[in-house]
Amino acid sequence: MKWLTQKQIKEAAKKSPKAAKDCVIEHWTQLATCTFKEFVWAVKQGKASIWGGFCAFCIRARNEDDVLFCSTKKCPVFLQTGCIGCSETPWHRAFADFNNFEENPTQANYTKFHKAAKKELKFLKSLKQ
């Protein structure tokens, strides 16, 4: 799998809200469809992450509003949910499962994260732009 780079994500964030959403969906599609072997490699190489530096929505909001968290009118997740930093969204479960995988990269932890990533992807596709 050819993973998105942080440079590509930053470029999408700067381009437009639609480009940012498309990029976020592509990133989570990669996370939700990768194999165990691809995921292990990507996590070890720093190519797969769910932190704000890999989120075009976060990058866009931070660049435009100079804020630490994405609790702004620029973030579609915040606009739809009112959640600061994606708390109380499917991302929150994916975050916990990602951390568990990083600490213990087993097939079982991958499966948990993969399930959470699919829920996050579905949520992101439902966002209004």
- Please write the tens of the pLDDT for every residue from 7-53: 999 999 999 989 999 999 999 999 999 999 999 999 999 999 998 88
Domain parsing of the chain, residue ranges: 6-124
pLDDT band at 70 (very low <50, low <70, confident <90, very high): low
| Reduced DSSP (H G I as helix, E B as strand, rest coil) percent helix, strand, coil of the chain, to 5 | 70, 0, 30
Q: How many CB atoms lie within 10 A of CB 24?
A: 28
Instruction: Tell me the C-alpha to C-alpha distance, in Å, between residue 48 and each of 31, 58, 71, 84, 94.
Output: 7, 16, 24, 22, 13
Segment (H or E) for 76 = helix 76-81
Contact 79, 65 (CB under 8 A): no
Would you state the structure tokens that stand for residue 16, as one six-digit string?
A: 């437009």
> Any idea which of 21-25, 42-46, 72-76, 118-122 has the lowest mean pLDDT?
72-76
| Cα–Cα distance measured from residue 4 to residue 19, given in angstroms and rounded to the nearest whole number | 13
Instruction: Tell me the C-alpha to C-alpha distance, in Å, between residue 115 and each of 4, 32, 33, 71, 92.
Output: 21, 7, 10, 26, 13
Burial (CB count <10 Å: 0-12, 13-18, 19+), residue 18:
exposed
pLDDT band at 62 (very low <50, low <70, confident <90, very high): confident
